[in-house]
Amino acid sequence: MQVLVRENNVDQALRVVKKKMQREGIFREMKLRRNYEKPSERRARERAEAIRRTRKLMRKRMEREGY
């Protein structure tokens, strides 16, 4: 990952780096790796996240199509 610092504006460059890291999911991964997660817990978490995503998608689809 690379960010250019223009006109010695480090604050702007930091904001850009944070935004890129957020988009890539680095902060989330760091939080998850802080503690060991058993494989069974990982599978359960991922399954729950998938269910949450599909429900959110269905909610948006229903809202958009007006059912």
29 and 16, same structural domain? yes
Residues in CB range of 65: below 8 A, 6 or more apart? none
pLDDT digits (tens, 9 = 90+) for 32-52: 999 999 999 999 999 999 999
Mean predicted confidence (pLDDT) in 10-19 = 94
Contact 13, 5 (CB under 8 A): yes
20 and 3, same structural domain? yes
* Tally of domains within the chain: 2
21 and 4, same structural domain? yes
48 and 30, same structural domain? no
Q: Which pLDDT score is estimated for 46? A: 96
pLDDT confidence bin for 66, thresholds 50/70/90: confident
The helix-helix angle for 10-24 and 26-33 (nearest 10°) equals: 70
29 and 48, same structural domain? no
Mean predicted confidence (pLDDT) in 8-24 = 94
Residue 15 scores a pLDDT above 90: yes
Which domain covers residue 50, as residue numbers? 38-67
61 and 31, same structural domain? no
